[in-house]
Amino acid sequence: MASIGRFQKGEEIFHAKVVDGELYRLRGDVFGSPSFDKRPTPRKGLRTLVPVAPSKIVAVGLNYKDHVRETGKSLPKSPIIWFKATTSLIPDGAKIELPFPNHRNDYEAELAIVMGRRCRNVTAAAAARYILGYTSAQDITDRTIQAAEGQWARSKSFDTFTPLGPYIETKIDPHDLTLQLFQNGQLRQNGHTSEMTFNCFRIVSFVSTNITLLPGDVILTGTPSGIGRIQSGDRLEVRIQGMAPLVNAVK
């Protein structure tokens, strides 16, 4: 496999491998041992969906030292995790809607892990075997509500607050990637995944200790420094090395 997307045509939803812009339909289970059509499927009339439908979205906070510094918080000794509602997901190209546009609402570009196999209590050394691949994400945050409530789930779970995709990259080193966010064409975040305090394998190990992870579950691994406010009319683009960009407008 390599780049895997999820698409809809009419009532039908399917995965496909994306090669040079062409789609090759996946046959069988994306989490099993699928095969692919030899001939491409026409893109006409297809809608790009989020690449998986997870049972849960786990998010990790304060995982880049320079971002911890800009928040004025202290460096966590173990991963800080919470859950984002799965109903907050939107695909590449869909609009982020701000329920409280007068609040401070922020972008946060993040690398997302997509689980490939059910696991519980795996070691960091074994974690890679349970991961299907990686994709781009945003952890959109209503900072005003986050500060007022002291816990993070609601302020990061509003509908449309988790852009994800467009594709899952299955052949990529998750710890050697530039990670950038552009706001209206301006570079705002410019990090590197090697700067994570807890890398992807340690995160999967930590989360899975007492929480079963299922195929398709998504883990957001934290954002680098450079967070900033968004407003209606913005065009946000997450660019992670080796991945197609994740582009979403704000309304």
Q: By the criterion CB under 5 A, which residues form the site for Mg ion?
A: 108, 139, 223
In the complex, minimum distance from the CB of residue 18 to Mg ion, in angstroms, rounded to a whole number: 26
Residue 92 or 139: the one with the smaller Cβ distance to Mg ion is: 139
Side-chain-side CA neighbours of residue 123 (13 Å): 2
* Closest to Mg ion by CB, 143 or 175: 143
8 Å CB contact between 162 and 138: yes
Supply the minimum distance, in Å, between the C-beta of residue 7 and Mg ion: 27
User: Which residue's CB comes closest to Mg ion?
Assistant: 139
Is the Cβ of residue 92 or residue 108 nearer to Mg ion in the bound state?
Answer: 108
32 Cβ contact partners less than 8 Å away, ≥ 6 residues apart: none
Pairing of strands 80-84, 89-90: unpaired
- Residue 229 makes CB contacts below 8 A (sequence gap 6+) with 104, 105, 106
What is the closest distance, in whole angstroms, from the C-beta atom of residue 21 to Mg ion in the complex?
Answer: 30
Q: Please say which residue, 18 or 57, places its beta carbon nearer to Mg ion.
A: 57
Q: Which residue lies nearer to Mg ion by CB, 50 or 59?
A: 59
Exposure string over 14-50, b if 16+ CB within 10 A, otherwise e? bbbbbeeeebbbbeeebbeeeebeeebeeeeebebbb
Q: Which one, of 119, 137, 124, 117, lies nearest residue 216 by Cα? A: 117
Alpha-carbon gap, residue 120 to 220, rounded angstroms: 18
Residue whose CB is less far from Mg ion, 68 or 127? 68
> Whose Cβ is closer to Mg ion: residue 139's or residue 169's?
139
**Min dist. Cβ of residue 61 to Mg ion (A):** 6
Please report how close the Cβ of residue 36 comes to Mg ion at its closest, in angstroms: 34
**Residues near 241 by beta carbon (within 8 Å), at least 6 away in sequence:** 176, 177, 178, 179
Q: Is-cis flag, bond preceding 224, omega within 30?
A: no
- Give the C-alpha separation, 164 to 43, whole Å: 20
Query: Shortest approach of Mg ion to residue 101 CB, angstroms?
Result: 20
CB of 109 to Mg ion, least distance (A): 9
Beta-bridged to residue 95, according to DSSP, are: none
